[in-house]
């Protein structure tokens, strides 16, 4: 009788665990840095970091989610000195970003800082077409399947788990039959990786709609970004990474 009771209790626990559709997934988001500093010597360029990593959190329930920065200050700052005595202060600013997805109604709201200005992008959640591959690997003790995004010029590979049935993922990525725990864009140009998963009931106020910024459409925001990057002498490359040309000037 004791053995039967233990088996029944275990079965109830497993069913309860699999039915959990709310919680928090912590992510690290790494972006490759491409800096072309005119006039900088080789030694100075070696000291410039190749990757900038930011901590993010994905809070979700059965109907909606919010993906945002964990830390208030993720800026990367360092001083570099070359062989010829030249010095440079190197700063990578991490913009404020809060992405809200209403999966039930297929609507999104994205509050995004860009060069000190805040924008509020509203629109539909973009439908994504994936091709599920036969490969699998384990992330945080969850067996994940590989999927490749079809409707994009970039090479985007995702790893998702059906053990978390919620249709969600980091950033704008979703549309698979399970939670996406890793995304690799253009062979490491930008990588989202789950670092911790906590399945639990959410507290009141953990999911809040973003309201900060000037309201624009997604197309309007893309135009603003391209114009600003052209003004700064840079480009938005594959994987979402930014290539910036920095020109050193002498004081007169």
80 domain residue, yes or no: yes
Q: Are 225 and 242 in contact (CB under 8 A)?
A: no
pLDDT of the residue at 7: 41
pLDDT of the residue at 10: 41
Buried b (16+ CB within 10 A) or exposed e, 103-127: beeeebbbbbbbeeeebbbeeeeee
Q: Are 69 and 59 in contact (CB under 8 A)?
A: no
Place of tokens 């997604």: 218
181 domain residue, yes or no: no
Distance CA 193, CA 28 (A): 5
3 domain residue, yes or no: no
pLDDT of the residue at 249: 30
Distance CA 83, CA 240 (A): 32
State the residue range of the domain holding 241: 20-126+189-246
6 domain residue, yes or no: no
pLDDT of 100-119, one tens digit each?
999 999 999 999 999 889 99
As for how many domains the chain has, the answer is 1
CA atoms within 13 A on the CB side of 237: 16
What's the order of all strands across the beta sheet hosting 234-236?
A: 34-38, 242-247, 234-236
Place of tokens 């990593």: 53
143 domain residue, yes or no: no
DSSP 64: E
Return the minimum-mean-pLDDT range out of 21-25, 29-33, 91-95. 91-95
Q: Are 166 and 62 in contact (CB under 8 A)?
A: yes
Q: What number is the average pLDDT over the span 135-143? A: 97
Return the minimum-mean-pLDDT range out of 152-161, 169-178, 212-221, 235-244. 235-244
147 domain residue, yes or no: no
**3 state SS of 2:** helix
Quickly state the pLDDT bin for 37 (edges 50, 70, 90).
low
To the nearest whole number, what is the mean pLDDT of the chain?
80
Quickly state the pLDDT bin for 17 (edges 50, 70, 90).
very low
């Amino acid at each position: 009788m004791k053995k039967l009771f233990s088996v029944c209790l275990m079965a109830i626990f497993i069913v309860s665990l699999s039915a959990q559709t709310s919680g928090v997934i912590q992510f690290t988001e790494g972006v490759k840095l491409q800096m072309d500093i005119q006039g900088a010597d080789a030694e100075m360029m070696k000291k410039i970091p190749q990757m900038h990593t930011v901590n993010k959190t994905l809070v979700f329930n059965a109907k909606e989610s919010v993906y945002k920065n964990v830390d208030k200050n993720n800026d990367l700052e360092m001083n570099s000195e070359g062989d010829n005595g030249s010095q440079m202060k190197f700063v990578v600013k991490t913009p404020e970003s809060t992405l809200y997805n209403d999966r039930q109604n297929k609507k999104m709201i994205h509050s995004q800082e860009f060069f000190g200005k805040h924008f509020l992008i509203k629109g539909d959640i973009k439908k994504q077409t994936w091709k599920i591959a036969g490969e699998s690997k384990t992330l945080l003790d969850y067996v994940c399947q590989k999927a490749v995004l079809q409707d994009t010029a970039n090479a985007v590979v995702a790893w998702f788990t059906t053990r978390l049935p919620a249709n969600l993922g980091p950033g704008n990525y979703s549309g698979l039959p399970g939670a996406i725990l890793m995304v690799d864009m253009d062979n490491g140009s930008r990588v989202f990786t789950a670092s911790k998963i906590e399945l639990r009931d959410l507290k009141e106020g953990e999911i809040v709609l973003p309201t900060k910024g000037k309201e624009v459409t997604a197309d309007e925001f893309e135009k603003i970004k391209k114009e600003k990057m052209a003004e700064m002498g840079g480009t938005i490359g594959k994987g979402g990474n930014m290539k910036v040309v920095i020109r050193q000037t002498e004081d007169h």
